[in-house]
């Protein structure tokens, strides 16, 4: 096992050099042109467009588990990688953080060979069931008639900062967790839950021995549908430009331009040009540039839904 741990350490040293220096030859030779390398190339392209530049990349690793495969032919190492990017933007220094989960499978040999590498991306996981959504008082969605949509952006920001890379035990960890996280931020900001009897209606989460929730609480498409509805309970409106958003607002991502939203983030700041910086789950991200052009999930057809809460 010691040889496998050492091989894992060397792999992530090469990966760190790839982020910082663009030294990708050893990584490509070892693991092929896979998502993590594509994201490094895309980050460099995004830096060129934003006129920014990484000055330092700090990587911390936690080895979560080491186990022999069931067939005994390989060793599986699961790793959590914490990255901090310190970058220069118009002569000012800024930072961004991310957490990635990796699974590396090594041949069970004295000199381990990487058989397979999988990195978490925003594309991960099947879509949770449920896309059609109603929020009104019909079909069992009880609306709180005293609700006025008061949103405390300071509380929303504090929650987004506190829980961006950890999971509040008051809520289930859904794996594909981006919309669950955004709903928690909205709830922390003061939005009241609505409904609670049918998953297709309202916007709600119920804890207990067997937690349950509405589709709109946890499914990116359902929350995006709800936020676009005229007369939605959050007084949400759609902005035309990202510069119109402020802390606590939400961005939804349609990676293919098909009208199906697969990711949500919450705005926590802005860069020197007034463009949003966001926090998110799934790939846990902190102060990330809103466009996600350096994500493996991004495509040339990506479309954004800019959601502003009116209060």
**pLDDT interval class at 308 (50, 70, 90):** very high
| pLDDT of 18 higher than 70 | yes
**What pLDDT score was predicted for residue 149?**
55
Q: Which class in CATH covers the domain with range 138-309?
A: alpha beta
Could you tell me which residue, 76 or 109, shows the higher pLDDT? 76
CA distance 91 to 218: 40
CA distance 248 to 242: 13
**What pLDDT score was predicted for residue 142?**
40
Take residue 271 and report the two structure tokens written for it. Answer: 């860069």
> Nearest CA to 278 among 152, 160, 124?
160
Q: Domain locations in the chain? A: 2-119, 138-309
**pLDDT interval class at 141 (50, 70, 90):** very low
- Measured at the CA of 290, the angle between CA 259 and CA 78, to 5 degrees, comes to 90
> Nearest CA to 211 among 265, 169, 159?
169
Averaged pLDDT score across all residues of the chain: 89
Query: The domain at 2-119 falls in which architecture?
Result: Roll (3.10)
**What pLDDT score was predicted for residue 23?**
83
Share of the chain above pLDDT 70, in %: 91
pLDDT digits (tens, 9 = 90+) for 217-236: 999 999 999 999 998 989 99
pLDDT digits (tens, 9 = 90+) for 29-53: 887 778 889 999 999 999 999 999 9
Q: Per residue, what are the HEC states of 32-48?
A: CCCHHHHHHHHHHHHHH
**What pLDDT score was predicted for residue 79?**
97
pLDDT digits (tens, 9 = 90+) for 57-92: 999 999 999 999 877 789 999 999 999 999 998 878
* Residue 30: φ, ψ to 5°: -85, -40
- Across the range 140-164, mean pLDDT stands at 75
């Amino acid at each position: 096992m010691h040889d496998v741990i050492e091989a894992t350490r060397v792999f992530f040293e090469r990966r760190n050099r790839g982020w910082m220096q663009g030294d990708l030859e050893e990584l490509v030779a070892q693991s092929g042109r896979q998502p993590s390398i594509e994201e490094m190339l895309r980050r460099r392209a995004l830096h060129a467009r934003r006129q920014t530049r990484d000055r330092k990349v700090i990587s911390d690793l936690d080895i979560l588990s080491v186990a022999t495969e069931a067939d005994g032919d390989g060793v599986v190492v699961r790793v959590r990688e914490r990255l901090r990017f310190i970058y220069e933007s118009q002569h000012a220094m800024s930072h961004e953080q991310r957490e990635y989960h990796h699974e590396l499978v090594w041949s069970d040999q004295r000199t381990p060979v990487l058989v397979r590498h999988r990195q978490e991306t925003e594309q991960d996981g099947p879509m949770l069931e449920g896309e059609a959504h109603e929020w009104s008082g019909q079909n069992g969605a009880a609306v709180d008639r005293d609700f006025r949509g008061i949103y405390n952006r300071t509380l929303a920001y504090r929650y987004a900062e506190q829980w961006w890379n950890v999971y509040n035990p008051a809520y289930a960890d859904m794996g594909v967790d981006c919309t669950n996280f955004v709903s928690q931020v909205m709830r922390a900001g003061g939005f009241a839950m609505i409904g609670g009897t049918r998953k297709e209606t309202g916007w709600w989460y119920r804890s207990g021995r067997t937690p349950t929730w509405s589709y709109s609480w946890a499914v990116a498409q359902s929350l995006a549908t709800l936020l676009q509805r005229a007369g939605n309970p959050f007084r949400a409106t759609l902005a035309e430009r990202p510069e119109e958003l402020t802390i606590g607002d939400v961005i939804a991502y349609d990676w293919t331009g098909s009208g199906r939203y697969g990711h949500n983030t919450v705005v926590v700041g802005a860069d020197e040009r007034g463009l949003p910086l966001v926090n998110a789950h799934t790939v846990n991200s902190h102060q990330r540039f809103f466009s996600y052009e350096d994500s493996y999930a991004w495509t040339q057809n990506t479309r954004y839904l800019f959601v502003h809460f009116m209060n």
